[in-house]
A = this chain, B = another copy of it.
Amino acid sequence: MKRKITLKQIARELDVSISTVSKALRNSVEISDDTKQKVQAFAKLYNYRPNNIALSLKNRRTNTIGIIIPEIVHHFFSKVIRGVELVANKRGYNVIVGLSNESFAKEVINMEMLANGSIDGFILSMSKETLQQQDYHHFNETMSQGMPIVMFDRVVSDVNCDKVIVDDFNGAKNAVKKLINNKCKSIALITTKDYVSVGKLRTQGYLEALEESKMIPQSELILKIDDSLDYEVHLEKLEAEIEQLFKSNEKIDGVFAVNELYALSAMKVARKLGLDIPNDIQVIGFTDGVLSKHATPSLTTVSQHAQQMGEKAADLLINKLESENDEEEERFQTLVIPTELIERESTK
């Protein structure tokens, strides 16, 4: 293998600093035109390749998948990434991750950045802000430029692409039916505001389960949390709202929470109020994260099979990338991953 000339060697030869060489090659305004010409000519003479952009220009396939997720400190998303990684590695692809931090602008910036030749296609879950603003132009533009997208978990019907979703409705419905079968008479729901599609679907599942059992939904038993706040910081506020819910409705003997943190907070508040779990109050959460398993009592949850979602999404994307059939490339499917109720100590 022919040894590449390094920045250091160029710097030594021309008696300038490495940083000057680097900046001159980047055409920085900080460096004089004279120096830039000298460095660039030298680099060219010795075939200096600062990176492989030239290569990637010739051969567009990067064999890399870009993942855009709203939030990194979240077990669900990490498990999805692990699933994508597993399949991607098996099929010869690499993975890089961009974070939207629940911001529309950051989602757009990240997609633009990665679409610039770094990746072949996207697997993504939309930011809350994108869902609120209902502005999906960046997804549609990316796809119209020939870059496929697979969406997971948070999806909208306005974007026509492959999708992998959790069966949120039935997952929630089955959880609440479990509480009803366990003789709960007054079941509270702790959920998010409605613009997050998964919160909405889980709320509908709760309502449907009550209706099927001829129980009348009571609005005072439904607590809608504003999850635009970071609850790792605002945990106290969350707990205060739940305490208020319990105190105003002393008959509550069952709780269905749309995520793990809400469920754990409900258990904490219940203990504080002297209620025994599961004898006085039974609790079911959604998302089978690390907390559910390690909580005391351990939490009964609706598992979303996050890793499987990632695996399916990766297969869908790579199939599309490698498809030789043009018609197939323009056909989209939505895979629904069934949930599973994992029973632990927080229910009877």
**Residues of A at under 8 Å CB distance from B?**
6-8, 17-22, 25-28, 30, 50-53, 55-62, 64, 72-75, 78-79, 81-82, 85, 89, 94-99, 101, 106, 109-110, 112-118, 144-146, 232, 264, 290-291, 294-296, 323-324, 326-327, 329-330
Contact = CB atoms under 8 A, between A and B. Distances in A.
A96 B94 contact: no
10 contacts: A7-B146, A53-B57, A62-B113, A94-B109, A94-B110, A94-B113, A96-B114, A97-B98, A116-B118, A295-B296
Copies in the complex: 2
Contact of A99 (B20, B58, B85, B323): B85
Contacts of A113: 62, 64, 94, 96, 118
B72 A26 contact: no
- Which 7 A-B pairs rank lowest in CB-CB distance, beginning with the nearest? A26-B60, A296-B296, A17-B326, A22-B146, A97-B97, A7-B146, A73-B78
B53 A117 contact: yes
Contacts of A20: 326
B25 A60 contact: yes
A294 B264 contact: yes
Contact of A294 (B25, B27, B116, B294): B294
A294 B260 CA distance: 11
A28 B106 CA distance: 32
B19 A326 contact: yes
Interface hub of A18, A50, A114, A145 (most chain B Cβ within 10 A): A145
Contact of A144 (B7, B75, B144): B7
A50 B116 CA distance: 8
Contacts of A232: 290
A27 to B, nearest CB: 7
A75 B78 CA distance: 10
Given A50-B146, A118-B118, A290-B290, A81 B99 contact: yes
B116 A56 contact: yes
Nearest to A112: B52
A145 B78 CA distance: 32
A59 B27 CA distance: 7
A113 B118 CA distance: 8
B79 A326 contact: no
A68 to B, nearest CB: 10
Contacts of A57: 53
Contacts of A8: 144
Nearest to A52: B116
Given A59-B27, A72-B78, A97 B99 contact: yes
A288 to B, nearest CB: 12
A17 B25 CA distance: 40
